[in-house]
Amino acid sequence: MISTKLKKISEKLRQLIFEVGLKNDGHISTSLSCVEILVTLYFGGFLNTTKKKFKNKDRDTFVLSKGHAETALYCLLFLKKFISKNTIYNSYNCGTYKLGSHSDHQVPGVELTTGSLGHGLGFSSGMALAHKINKKKYKHYVLLGDAECSEGSVWEAALFASFHKLKNLVAIVDNNNIGSLDYTKNFTSLNNLKKKWQSFGWFVQEIEGHSITQIISALKKTNKSNKPNLIIANTIKGKGLSIMENDPAWHVKKLTDKNEIILCKKELGL
């Protein structure tokens, strides 16, 4: 039942990402690969936070370490009532400052300003450690890109979280196999990602990242782990739009062709 509900919200979020991104040149393709992950965290009962609770320190947190998926996060925060309809439709990436083209901590619901990669895991480790010291059971979720795992700071944080047994830390890698320019296999060695993280002392699960059932199951399993948790979510960049799916060009390419726009709208049910 819950997965049916989350599937519908995912469809809505995809439509929003497309509408908002098309209007103001957002990061559409990279946002589409993490839709189900975000929806499950925020609407699946995992992330214990609301706009009202956001200023409290005692709550769950989510950090979008791949800060270039801000289109997805901002649209999701609109659905969660952190951001108004007027703001998401009229103040995104149009120079009014309210919402820029990377994740900004001044936006309600955003923990950390990101956009430069390799910051989120360390920051979330610090928050997780603080709650561990205080013997609080809140969880700290962080979403990384797979190409982001080229950053050395990611592995510094991985060692740190492992040593401190931060079982309240859940990192999810949006493993869409594409960086901003090319397929990851063409420029770095991210193969055997599961073994790499396991060797750093993490509890690692690998799932199909667009399957809500699998995301729910993996997130539930993190409750039983005694190690920091990593979920490798195998996803498709541009998921839901046939012209964008698994094509590196769409990381920055603008959608301008009328026929392509019509096709995208049709595929999204708009």
Q: What gap in Å lies between CA 10 and CA 113, rounded to an integer?
A: 24
Stretch of 14-22, 83-91, 115-123, 259-267 lying at the interface with another protein (CB under 8 A): 115-123
C-beta closer to another protein: residue 130 or 270? 130
Q: Is the dihedral of CA 60, 66, 67, 71 positive or negative?
A: negative
125 binds another protein per the rule CB under 8 A = yes
Length of the chain: 270
C-beta closer to another protein: residue 1 or 133? 133
C-beta closer to another protein: residue 44 or 120? 120
Strand residue runs (E) in the chain: 61-64, 140-145, 169-175, 203-208, 229-234
**In the complex, least distance from residue 57 CB atom to another protein, rounded to whole angstroms:** 5
C-beta closer to another protein: residue 136 or 254? 136
C-beta closer to another protein: residue 159 or 262? 159
Query: Which of 51, 126, 199, 252 touches another protein (CB under 8 A)?
Result: 126
Positions in 93-112 near another protein (CB under 8 A): 105, 111-112
**In the complex, least distance from residue 126 CB atom to another protein, rounded to whole angstroms:** 2
- CA–chain centroid gap for 24, Å, is 20
Q: What gap in Å lies between CA 170 and CA 204, rounded to an integer?
A: 10
Phi, psi of 199, rounded to the nearest 5 degrees: -70, -20
Tokens coding 120: 């989120």
β-strand partners of 99: 92
Positions in 128-187 near another protein (CB under 8 A): 128-131, 133-134, 152-153, 156-157, 159-160
Report the SS3 class of residue 161.
Answer: helix
Q: Which residue has the tokens 């910051």?
A: 119
**In the complex, least distance from residue 102 CB atom to another protein, rounded to whole angstroms:** 11
Positions in 45-64 near another protein (CB under 8 A): 57
Please give the angle made by the CA atoms of 74, 178 and 231, to the nearest 5 degrees.
Answer: 70
Tokens coding 156: 């510094």
**In the complex, least distance from residue 58 CB atom to another protein, rounded to whole angstroms:** 9
**Given the rule CB under 8 A, which residues bind another protein?**
57, 105, 111-113, 116, 118-119, 121-131, 133-134, 152-153, 156-157, 159-160
